[in-house]
Structure 1
């Protein structure tokens, strides 16, 4: 499904919000442009499909991860949270870490053209940082941006307005077929970036999927949230990154958009071990229902009793050695590993040693 959008400034306030405040809310003030773009919606991002996934999630007491980003309100709340807590926005050393990986990735390319495919592009900050190094006089780059949120995808396109971008809205949790994104008769090598997605989608789902789409000539640039030792002290410190006012506003927004009232639930944040994996755990945020109620989703009614819990968010953490083991288990070979001094952020360049050249 393809939708043609025209990105331009609104000439009137929206529901009482001034134009400048609305743009500030979406963090796009510096990247407004007036140009028609084509956005392709994968079936996983269509309204009926999203509603069905939400309904299925409520039935098993776990909301789909994409619900936290899909609406314009949730996109804005996530951006506010990310600006306050994401390491790349808080520490210059983390930005330098990514820059180092980007430079070495470009230096390793054997051809002067490639396809840059951003899976989970978010606001496009990291993608812009990479592409700024790919000088047009040296590189011919096709750019494809993909995210579950149409608002974040369009925002990333605005940030990357110097590049011709193909825009796709899809839910990575549904494992979309990426072959439709390679339309050239002569196939280009790809740099596939998947930054910030592994912790929330989880290794069990995302790593096999990436291994299935990564070709011999491709390079995967993937980031991970790490834990130095997975000790109790580590867990307590890292938990605070997900249990804070900005994070709670983000989680609550998704629940309010579902139809819950603020006094219907209380958020609980906890740490759980990952069964069978030494040096790994997850942060889990659940909404505890405080009174009996009924949720209406996708034409179905879901009764919930006081004390029921609905998982809203999860994020995995690994020690560097545990993550290396998970990569190896999927046949993913680490070409380069760059880990922050505090061992809480890692960026990896990956090849697939199980794929045979065509």
Structure 2
């Protein structure tokens, strides 16, 4: 009977009252919180389809090789440590990369050196998908999925650490860092890390020597019908109509960190839009723009510089031949 039940831990950041307040604020402030693009099974499936179609990690053999080299180096480091292990997949998505990592380090963990996998995501659907994917491939791995909002979960690491003793944490953050303001997410990642822990993350990069031209090159990975259909879902579900506006993509600078550029998607209103969410009136005017999404593009030197400012050292990095994605193995200084 137990195989018919999935025990999931839900952090208070994703309790219904808090989630709904975040939802209302997204529409009131005309900036949709990224987490509401993954809230339903329908949205998660649309995102997985986009990932399959456009992600270099799914389409580019050299990108897959970059992950494999990173994971081999991780296994080399872990082999020198006798501690039991936690693999904490922050923003685990569909769990493919965490599963690949486990295949590279599976010879390291055992009954004497157990490993627990914590797939963590804002989406219940994706957390369960990742949990079941890993459990189906690694019977000797304990799995405990968590649902949380990372920006409101500074205490999550203490909750996980309290479940065991003498453990080394391997924290993965694949494909996530571009979708957060650097000044918001990096302090949280720093808080998650203790000396000796490992941080593995990937970032979307701007290929070539010209930063802005590189971002322009990858814009079609975002400005396409699959992505537009995914992004508009949150509006349609709230009662907005397709004919109310158009989705437009652009490259914009970060006002707080002007050295960083990001790709942003806006819903540009062609007419006035009024609707109610519970008792809150949402009143949008023709010509206004609703920000649906943003994704930063980095370069490895930019990543090295900003991580150093937060006391995180890069032990090694690997880039796809296209230079569109990089994988980084890090530790706290």
TM-score (norm 2): 0.91
Deviation at 1:278, TM superposition (A): 6.5
Matched residue SS, 2:8 = strand
1:156 counterpart = 2:130: yes
Aligned to 2:86: 115
8 Å CA contact 2:206–2:323 kept in 1: the answer is: yes
**Bigger Cα displacement from structure 2, 202-211 vs 191-200:** 202-211
Indicate the residue corresponding to 1:52 in structure 2.
21
Aligned partners of 1:257 and 1:217: how far apart in 2?
Answer: 45
Shift of residue 149, structure 1, vs aligned partner: 0.4
Asked if 1:181 is matched to 2:155, the reply is no
In structure 2, distance between residues paired with 1:51 and 1:298: 10
Question: Per-residue CA shift, 1:17-51, capped at 9, x if unaligned?
Answer: xxxxxxxxxxxxxxxxx432211111221222112
Q: Which digits, 9 at most, give the CA deviation of each residue in 1:274-301, with x for residues without a partner?
A: 3465653100001112221223235311
What CA distance in whole angstroms lies between the structure 1 residues aligned with 2:257 and 2:200? 23
Residue aligning to 1:146: 120
Supply the RMSD in Å over aligned alpha carbons: 1.8
2:193 to 209, 214, 222: 214
Structure 1 gap segments, 5+ residues each = 1-5, 8-33, 354-358
SS for the counterpart of 2:228 is helix
- Aligned position for 1:36: 5
The alpha-carbon deviation at position 258 of structure 1 amounts to 2.0
Q: Is the 8 A contact 2:75 2:108 kept in 1?
A: no
1:37 is paired with a residue of what secondary structure?
coil
Q: Which has the higher helix share?
A: 2
Q: 1:185 Cα deviation (Å)? A: 4.7
| Pairwise CA distance, 1:138 | 4.4
Unaligned 5+ runs, structure 2: none
SS in structure 1 at match of 2:7: strand
Corresponding residue pairs, total? 322
- Matched residues in 1 for 2:163 and 2:40: separation? 32
Name the residue aligned to 2:146: 168
Please, which moves more after superposition, 45-54 or 293-302?
A: 293-302
Higher relative contact order (CA 8 A, sep 6+): 2
Relative to structure 1, the CA distance from residue 232 to residue 184 in structure 2 (aligned partners, 3 Å threshold; closer, same or farther) is closer
Do the aligned residues in 2 keep the contact of 1:230 with 1:318 (CA within 8 Å)?
A: no
Q: What's the offset of the Cα at 1:226?
A: 1.0
Post-superposition CA distance 1:321-358 (Å, at most 9, x none): 111111111111111111222222111111111xxxxx
User: Does structure 2 conserve the Cα–Cα contact (< 8 Å) formed by 1:230 and 1:279?
Assistant: no
Point out the more displaced range, 56-65 or 310-319: 56-65
Counting only pairs closer than 5 Å after superposition, residues 1-358 of structure 1 correspond to structure 2 as 34-109=3-78, 110-112=80-82, 113-135=84-106, 138-139=109-110, 140-161=114-135, 162=138, 163-178=141-156, 179-228=158-207, 229-275=209-255, 277=257, 280-353=260-333
Q: TM-score, normalised by structure 1?
A: 0.85
TM-superposed deviation, 1:73: 1.0
Task: Tell me, in whole angstroms, the C-alpha distance in 1 between the residues paired with 2:240 and 2:258.
Answer: 37
Residue 245 of structure 1 and its aligned partner are, at CA, apart by: 1.2
